[in-house]
Amino acid sequence: MMLTLQLLLVLACLFYGARKGGVALGLLGGLGVVILVFVFQMPPGTPPVAVILTIVAVVAASATLEASGGLDVLLLLAEKVLRRNPKFVSIMAPFATTFLTMLCGTGHVVYTMLPIIYDIAIKNDIRPERPMAAATIGAQMGIMASPVSVAVVSLAAFLAKAPAGAPIIDFVTLLSITIPSTLAGVLMIGIFSWFRGKDLDKDEDFQKFVADPENHKFVYGETATLLGKTLDRSQWIAMWIFVGAIAVVAILGAFDALRPHFQGKALSMVLTIQMFMLMAGAFIIMFTKTNPAKIGKTEVFRAGMIAVVAVFGVAWMADSVFEANLPVIKDGLADLVKMQPWTYALALLIVSKFVNSQAAAIAAMVPMALSIGLPPGYVVAFAAACYGYYILPTYPSDLAAIQFDRSGTTRIGKYLINHSFIAPGLIGVGTSCFVGFILATTRGLV
């Protein structure tokens, strides 16, 4: 009975925090900790300090890249690729946004690309819903394939603390599964999107809408583009510094011998990521014209700090419940999860929808899964399931895609659940989990 009440408290905090959005999710997690400790008289769990510090370092570097204008370089390169191949925009757009997310560590880069993707589609008589919904889903899926995303560094930190006897899954092994599985999912999204919906010339509703001259002007409008924008040398330098730091982190993760050794052990990748991300931000400031005052005002910094608070509160609350009730939880769930590992993926997907954050879903579910004996290989195989907030079209990037699509083809359906993002989301995440499971199996992790 006590465990049930405590779990209901956790769910109530998650639901209410998710409804309020932003920092509220983490603050409600803190409220949950207070109630658990002072009302239920439970010992407080341990907040994920290493995860939080890693997030801070990564966000600081990414925000410095945005403040320097280096992000514009990546966006411009992506637009050039798409405009050279407009007929393939339904397949290329999700890959473009996925790769941008992989480099920058955040799916928020999609906002700048959406009007460009719409312009390319509508000017080539391609149903805008096809590339725009796919690009939005691809941007969020790219988070689990990014070496500098909050979700990946959080997962790597939790896996590093897996119970004794479990197979060790290091940072490189993690990415060697999440990157190809993510790309496989994005490919399936692109293939599906190529054929989805009616062509514009056969869509009666669209043709009726654009028959009005004012609507026609509104739909086809002016061209949105970054082409012609002048990029100075410092922006390119900032971009190469950031990309170079990511490459160095990947190399150091692949070869333990390149990292300093202390007491016979290589420097942990968690600390390595923290060091090199802070260094990347410092180099950008030192070698470019970046104004440090702008860093804290960027969208990346704002979103990243919200993620810090969310992970802090949610993970602390969840850890408090699971640590205090570990024997009961093991008795009730361990056998089910071990015999039917897919139930963990389903639970992760549902929690992700509630908290609207891949990092927060990982912080809430991964420590619990590892503590009840789920092999780490399954945690990695089903990592893509931490993206479930496409189920209802309430996430900012989904709403932005609907607003940027002036043709009205990207939309929320009559029954709410039948919206433009549900099919590509299910296809992408489902494919990624399936491929992740195959890869983890072939590596002997499951």
pLDDT tens digits, residue range 295-336? 999 877 887 788 788 778 877 887 788 777 767 666 666 667
Look at the chain and report how many structural domains it folds into.
1
| 297 or 112, which is more confident | 297
Given a cut of 90, whether residue 259 has pLDDT beyond it is no
DSSP symbol at 196: -
Mean pLDDT for 356-362 is: 83
Helix (H) or strand (E) holding 37: helix 24-38
Give helix 150-160 / helix 49-68 axis angle, nearest 10°.
Answer: 150
pLDDT grade, residue 105 (50/70/90)?
Answer: confident
User: Looking at residue 332, what is its pLDDT?
Assistant: 63
SS3 content of the chain, % helix, strand, coil (to 5): 75, 0, 25
pLDDT in tens, 11-24: 788 778 766 766 88
What pLDDT score does 131 carry? 95
Query: Considering the chain, what percentage of its residues have pLDDT values greater than 70?
Result: 96
DSSP code of residue 266:
E
Q: List pLDDT tens digits, range 47-59.
A: 878 778 877 888 8
Query: CA nearest 176: which of 161, 162, 156, 157?
Result: 156
Distance set, CA 354 to CA 15, 75, 147, 156, 388 (Å) = 6, 31, 25, 23, 9
Tokens matching residue 366: 């991964």
Q: Which domain holds residue 124?
A: 2-442
Average pLDDT value for the chain: 86
* For range 182-188, the mean pLDDT: 97
Nearest-5° angle of CA 16, CA 389, CA 177? 130
Could you give the CA distance from residue 411 to residue 409 in angstroms, rounded to a whole number? 6
Q: CB–CB of 62/220 below 8 Å?
A: no
Closest CA to 372 of 403, 344, 413, 405: 344
Evaluate whether 380 touches 337 at the Cβ level (below 8 Å). no
Amino acid at site 207: Q
pLDDT of residue 428: 97
Cα(383)–Cα(385) distance, integer angstroms: 5
Unique residue bearing structure tokens 């290493």 = 50
Local confidence band at 214 (pLDDT 50, 70, 90 cut-offs)? very high
pLDDT for res 326: 65
- Report, as an integer, the average pLDDT of 398-427: 86
Cβ contact 33:316 at 8 Å: yes
Q: Is the dihedral of CA 92, 94, 97, 103 positive or negative?
A: negative
314 within 8 A of 360, measured Cβ to Cβ: yes
Residues 6+ apart with CB under 8 A from 421: 133, 136, 137, 390, 393, 398, 401
Q: Which one, of 403, 431, 424, 412, lies nearest residue 131 by Cα?
A: 424
As given in the structure block, the two tokens for residue 152 are 């990946």
Distance CA 138, CA 24 (A): 27
The one-letter code for the residue type at 190 is G
**403 Cβ neighbours under 8 A, 6+ residues apart:** none
- 155 SS3 class: helix
pLDDT band at 427 (very low <50, low <70, confident <90, very high): very high
